Amino acid sequence: MASAASLSVVLSNRQRRRPVSAPRLRRVLRRAATALRVQGELSLVLAGDGLLRRLNRDYRGKDKTTDVLSFPGDCGEAGLGDIVISVAKAERNARGLGRTLAQELDVLALHGFLHVLGYDHETDGGTMDLLEGRLRQRLLRHA
């Protein structure tokens, strides 16, 4: 099994309005990588609604903000891909779901990671949802 250190997470916090625990997010992603026996490097960008709206429009044709977007890499030099999260949208989600912002960011990071790995809940007949549910229970316990 891969060790937790086998996933390198490059984190860029492009928003400053809400405090975020980078070590916590790295820990969630490394635990997921260990559980899935995945190694490599992953980029995690924390941003605001504006960037997520532009990316969603440009890459998915949806001109609205979203909470998380994932961009799988080509795995060259084990580059798994990029996850971009709107911290503002995550905060709104958290309020509506009765979670803390930190808990919601954990959920979104895990969700984005599964997408980076090629899972797609819109087309896979429930495979991603089942796996994500199991990982949430095992790794997050609170979400």
For 63-84, how does the pLDDT look when each residue is reduced to its tens digit (9 = 90+)?
999 999 999 998 666 689 999 9
CATH number of the domain bearing residue 50: 3.40.390.30
User: If pLDDT is split at 50, 70 and 90, which confidence band does 142 have?
Assistant: low
Domain that holds residue 24: 4-140
Give every CB contact of residue 54 below 8 A, 6+ residues apart in sequence. Answer: none
Total domain count for the chain? Answer: 1
Give the pLDDT confidence of 113-127 residue by residue, as tens digits: 999 999 999 898 899
- Distance separating alpha carbons of residues 130 and 57, to the nearest angstrom: 28
pLDDT of residue 141: 74
pTM for the whole structure? 0.91
Grouping H, G, I as helix, E, B as strand and the rest as coil, residue 136 is: helix
pLDDT above 50: residue 139: yes
Q: Can you tell me whether residue 84 is helix, strand or coil?
A: strand
